[in-house]
Amino acid sequence: MAETLTPWRDAPQVLCALADELAAKGWLPATSGNLSVCVRQHPLALAITRSGADKQHLTPPDVIYVDSELRVLDAVDPSHRPSAETIVHTKLYQALSCGCILHVHTVYNNLASEVYFAEGAVSIAGHELLKALDHWEPDACIQVPIVENLHDIPALADAVLAAVRPGVPGVLVRNHGIYAWGDTPAAAKRYLEAFEFLFQYVLTLRLLRG
Ligand SMILES: CSCCC(=O)C(=O)COP(=O)(O)O
Ligand SMILES: [Zn+2]
């Protein structure tokens, strides 16, 4: 990936705008979800939402800067802690060199993660919206991997990383949510929207077909 770094000072505004858009879709309920952007690559620094913040009403002080070892580099309120899932973000940035990672809990991504868990992935083929995931080939078919919802977060991070498939910018976590990423915040949001549309589509089609 050729990521675009978000300027350090712009990160709070960028993350608040993303949170507003995702919250408007109902994708950040009950303080769930975490959002981050890469603000420096070497050494890694990211801006990420604070743990427990209501992401439906995110404000700039809810954004915290951390390094690859999860050390806080800057926080408006020293009592605020970065997302409990920060290590998933740092490991993905280190492996993929992406620019933005979005983690949301939605009804459809949770249903897809459970219904298709035994298959290890959600297969999606023959759909126009695969183009939004940068699959323009006429016979496009992707598998969105699913991992178990490990409560040991460093182990979850390793599982997510091990599940990453080339050309598929997301991993589902069973009965939990999805991590989706892109080179830029706009790309990550587009991929996330495409995944969510396609999960709703495959689940509804499965129901209609019985
Ligand atoms: C209340 S949702 C449970 C934690 C979670 O899965 C999540 O995405 C939010 O955690 P954070 O520490 O980033 O607020
Ligand atoms: Zn979560």
For residue 28, the SS3 value is coil
Domain boundaries, the chain: 8-209
Extract the residue ranges of the chain whose pLDDT is less than 50. Answer: 1
Q: Which CATH superfamily is domain 8-209 in?
A: Class II aldolase/adducin N-terminal domain (3.40.225.10)
Q: How many CA atoms lie within 13 A of 29 on its CB side?
A: 8
Angle at 70 between CA 64 and CA 75, to 5 degrees: 20
Q: Can you give the pLDDT at residue 72? A: 98
Q: Is 135 annotated as a binding residue?
A: no
ipTM confidence score: 0.99
Using most ligand atoms within 8 A of CB, pick from 49, 54, 57, 83 the residue to mutate for ligand 1.
Answer: 83
Q: How far is the CA of 92 from the centre of ligand 2 (A)?
A: 15
Contact between residue 50 and residue 103 where contact means Cβ atoms under 8 Å apart: no
For residue 201, the SS3 value is helix
pTM of the model: 0.98
What pairing do the DSSP bridges indicate for beta strands 170-173 and 141-147? parallel
Q: Can you give the pLDDT at residue 103? A: 99
What pairing do the DSSP bridges indicate for beta strands 100-104 and 72-74? unpaired
Q: Is 57 annotated as a binding residue?
A: no
